[in-house]
Amino acid sequence: MRRRKRLRFENEPEALIMNSLVDIALSLVIGFIVTIPLFFESGIFVNAPGVAKAGAADVSDIKVNIHLLDDGAILLNEEIVTYEGLTELLPELLARSVARKVIISTDPNVKYEQVITVLDLAKQKGAGQLALLRSRR
């Protein structure tokens, strides 16, 4: 009886090993899930530029004005700060601000990437609104 069974199994075709195929497929799916956010673009909402108006709307609120200079220096409320300094000071200022609005202005030759870096930092540190300021011509 036992011998008969063994003979039947010997005649059957060998089963394919699916493990490697499944592993590859799974690795591809995981790789796809991990890398896909790098390929897709996202974005940051901004308040489109307006020209500075005379007279502030709410003088009692803490202001967060950032100005980027052509030479790469950063002015936070008219005072020069380093990027690390800005990283430390921004959360403190935003925590005391009601509107949590950050206004960013730049010198004429500042690169767009620098502005986005600061916008990103401001958002990470809790800015509610980001406003880009255009100087009056």
Size of the site for other proteins (CB under 8 A): 43
CA geometry: angle at 116 spanning 92 and 110, to 5°? 105
Q: Classify 135 as helix, strand or coil.
A: coil
Residue 10 lies near other proteins (rule: CB under 8 A): no
Residue 30 lies near other proteins (rule: CB under 8 A): no
Task: Between 88 and 120, name the residue whose CB sits nearer to other proteins.
Answer: 120
The torsion of the CA quartet 78, 111, 82, 44, rounded to 10 degrees, works out to 90
Classify the C-alpha dihedral 85-87-92-96 as positive or negative: positive
Choose one: 55-63, 75-83, 85-93, 120-128; the region binding other proteins (CB under 8 A).
Answer: 120-128
Rule CB under 8 A: which residues touch other proteins?
15-16, 18, 21-22, 24-25, 28-29, 32, 36-50, 68, 106, 108-117, 119-120, 123-124, 132, 134
